Structure 1
């Protein structure tokens, strides 16, 4: 509730004001210029104004005080995604009218503007609703007063304000933080807020004078006027929307590029021969290196939420795991083909022949095995070819073994088994090619999807 002075006390203040202020025409007051000289201004001329600094400076209390505000954002120091805070530096400009401070410049030595310590004047209680720290504004600031009673009060502020951050598009994210200026005590019947400058001018000045060249860039500032209702009271508000954008270069170089290189190397490892014993260890080494990379780069990622880049890293890790599983599967097929190849179904045999060479007709061969089935590769892992013995001079013991019935039966079994081995080896290579193409298709689709989401 508002404290009202008794009529008797209010009447005692009037002689005091009239003793130092001479009444002008109508509802204006003019300061006596006897306190103005070439050496400065006599403080006694403003003593009546200083004595009533606790009261809103109006002649008619039914008329609200118009307070115009603007600011210049000089730096964006930090944006904390975990605490949802933005730290910035502002130069706040507040302008209002005091009808008790007026003088005639022609009668007062041509003085049109003076500076007065802000502690001696009534100051509007303008605050920022999103403010989350103690106001550390320096004391002993000055205010400029002109001969018409217009007061201009500027103060620097370090503003730690709460900001609802959306980190889904990190590191290509744009944030929209709000700075809501309002009066803490005075309702719309007492204080009305207005703009001292156009919001476009505030935005352009801030973009030109901003000193911070760090992680964040100021895109623009927008403004909206509204009234906040608390119970039966209404308060004037001016909401400024500060649009900022993150500079993604650091994260692109340190996160996206190394991750892309590792995935590309993993894709190129499919060109290693499937029979080689180095493909699986190579992929395991890449997978281990990628996990170490994620652990080292974890400090650069936001601590809260699930940004799209985390989905991208999980996708890359999944692709590398699938690649390793594909290599294990192909290695198992090759091992099975060269040791104990099972009978191949007729439909799989036909499909394999069609896939391998659709323009060539291979004779249909039963699973018992005929010598004319499929091409025979030059080198097959785990298979000892009889041609290895060509050119060697057989000893008496070896000749006896070769000419024995058991050796001839073994050679016939090996000759019957060889085409089936060739078919399974060919099927393994076909599956390796097919899975590699599916891997590339899925990887390209996933990367393009992530890029599209980042651009939107």
Structure 2
């Protein structure tokens, strides 16, 4: 039983050697007589077709050189959530088959013919980043010339994994890789090379993609390397595909409306602080901005936190702060006109510092107020407690006993109250102006920072 097995193995090895060694010398040349009169005779290539299961070499210790190039015809989609790039490639693979040769002079000048790819040995070149089933059409043809050079072209829809960085969306640039390698053959059997210069591949692809889709091809670069798996080494060619997003769609639909809404919110500060329409107007803008963000949410990347999301959150925060400032000023004005509290001395000094001297209200009347009217150093609302108690007692006494000078005292108190109201109203206006300037400064700084980050 063992001898029969050895005998069968020996016969199988002899068959392989016979197939490999077949065609030495003159047998390499295909007899193509009559091709010019009766067409190509399939029987002339039958010996070649029978060898398709084996790598076409005369000496098995010599590796087969496979040259690769491709043309990227379209970038269909870049999925930021799944980290995938979908593109169309025209893959070109060229190798040499020493068993296919003929003399063109004997074959009616035929120098190149097409042969069904299924009848030939094909190198198992694949893309390592491929993340989908290969949907290449079947029944493709390969061109063979009279020297045995085979050129095999096939279109491919490539769904490849790509490490995407969407922080700078929509002004982002991505760098995806396409790694070509052999699945089975090590460097002892198959070595890879370039069929075209990478600059030619890049220029041809750029001309095809220039006016198609959302992405622009910036360039293609390549690097040769070897991958080691255990004790085996595999030849690899890595192509770096640099692409850039066309931002016009997002600028028009996202950035421009957002900028308009923020600009209108800033201009709303020019509405009078006493107006009852400022707060409702700002609330309407805030609600409109939230509706805008909900409608435009589909245009934003679903994964990660791009810079544009931070920009939108910043604009929303500015509009909320603007509304809070309006509420604060409205409260101050309401407090000043209904029941103004005493103004501290430090606050009055600060008000005098920020307000213009020409626009600042006079501190108190200077004539006809000897002893009763407020002095420049003692403003209304900051008098000593004893003096305030004396005034209150005099006012009560005047109501009960008819204290002389009660009418003048009442007029003086009304003047002081009006003066205090004017001070608080002035303070409200100064605070409104100050907060508006701080708002503009923070908004300009934030927007400039975002623009600088986008440009880096």
Scaled to the shorter chain, the TM-score interval is 0.7 to 0.9
Q: How does 1:141-160 map to 2 (within 5 A)?
A: 141-160=140-159
* Distance in 1 separating the partners of 2:148 and 2:334: 96
The TM-score, its normalising length taken from structure 2, stands at: 0.86
State the Cα distance separating 1:347 from its structure 2 match: 2.2
* Residue 384 of structure 1: aligned partner: none
Residue 106 of structure 1 aligns to a residue whose secondary structure is: helix
Q: What residue is the counterpart of 2:48 in the other structure?
A: 49
Structure 2 CA distance for aligned equivalents of residues 8 and 35 of structure 1:
36
Deviations 1:230-264 (A, max 9, x none): 11111111011111111101100000000000000
**Once the 2 structures are TM-superposed, how far is the Cα of residue 355 of structure 1 from its aligned partner?**
2.0
Does residue 8 of the first structure (1) align with residue 11 of the second (2)?
yes
Q: Does the Cα contact within 8 Å between 2:80 and 2:301 map onto a contact in 1?
A: yes
Q: Check whether the contact 1:370–1:419 (CA below 8 A) recurs between aligned residues.
A: no
| CA RMSD across the alignment | 2.5
Distance (Å, rounded) in 1 between the aligned partners of 2:192 and 2:306: 39
Normalised to the residue count of structure 1, the TM-score between the two structures is 0.86
Q: Which residue of 2 aligns with 1:323?
A: 322
Gaps of 5+ in 1: 374-403
Aligned to 1:165: 164
Unpaired segments ≥5 residues, structure 2? 1-7, 366-371, 378-403
Distance 1:414 1:88, change over 3 A: same
Pairwise mapping of residues 356-375 of structure 1 onto structure 2 (< 5 A)?
356-358=355-357, 370=374
Q: Relative to structure 1, is the Cα distance of residues 360 and 286 closer, same or farther in structure 2, using a 3 angstrom cutoff?
A: closer
Q: Could you say which residue in structure 1 is the equivalent of 2:419?
A: 419
SS in structure 2 opposite 1:164? coil
Deviation at 1:83, TM superposition (A): 0.9
Judging by fraction of residues, say which structure has more helix.
Answer: 2
1:409 CA drift (Å): 5.7
SS at match of 1:352: helix
Tell me the distance in 2 between the aligned counterparts of 1:411 and 1:425: 21
Q: Deviations over 1:386-438 (max 9, x none)?
A: xxxxxxxxxxxxxxxxxx99876654422221111111110110000000000
Q: Relative to structure 1, is the Cα distance of residues 330 and 97 closer, same or farther in structure 2, using a 3 angstrom cutoff?
A: same
1:228-267 residue pairs with structure 2 within 5 A?
Answer: 228-267=227-266
Q: Compared with structure 1, are the counterparts of its residues 109 and 125 closer, same or farther at alpha carbon in structure 2 (3 Å cutoff)? A: same
> Does the aligned pair in 2 maintain the 1:35–1:45 contact within 8 Å?
no
Q: Which residue of 2 aligns with 1:453?
A: 453
Instruction: Give the deviation of 1:365 after TM superposition.
Output: 5.6
Distance 1:206 1:192 in 2: 25
How much does 1:165 deviate?
A: 0.7
Structure 1 residue 350, shift from structure 2 partner: 2.1
**Is the 1:33–1:108 Cα contact (8 Å) retained in structure 2?**
yes
8 Å CA contact 2:21–2:58 kept in 1: the answer is no
Question: In the aligned structure 1, how far is the partner of 2:121 from the partner of 2:36?
Answer: 25
In the aligned structure 2, how far is the partner of 1:49 from the partner of 1:56? 11
1:35-434 to 2 correspondence within 5 Å? 36-210=35-209, 213-358=212-357, 370=374, 410-434=410-434
CA gap of 1:230–1:369, structure 2 versus 1, over 3 A, is farther
Partner of 1:396: none
Pair 1:323–1:356, CA change in 2 (3 A): same
For 1:423 and 1:119, the matched residues in 2 are separated by 95
Post-superposition offset of 1:369 = 6.5
Q: CA contact under 8 A between 1:74 and 1:212: conserved in structure 2?
A: no
Mapped partners of 2:133, 2:270: distance in 1: 62
Corresponding residue for 1:435? Answer: 435
Where 2:106 maps in the other structure, the secondary structure is coil
Q: In 2, distance between residues paired with 1:429 and 1:354?
A: 14
SS at match of 2:129: coil
Equivalence for 1:23: 25
CA contact (8 A) 1:369 1:419 kept: no
What secondary structure does 1:93 align onto?
strand
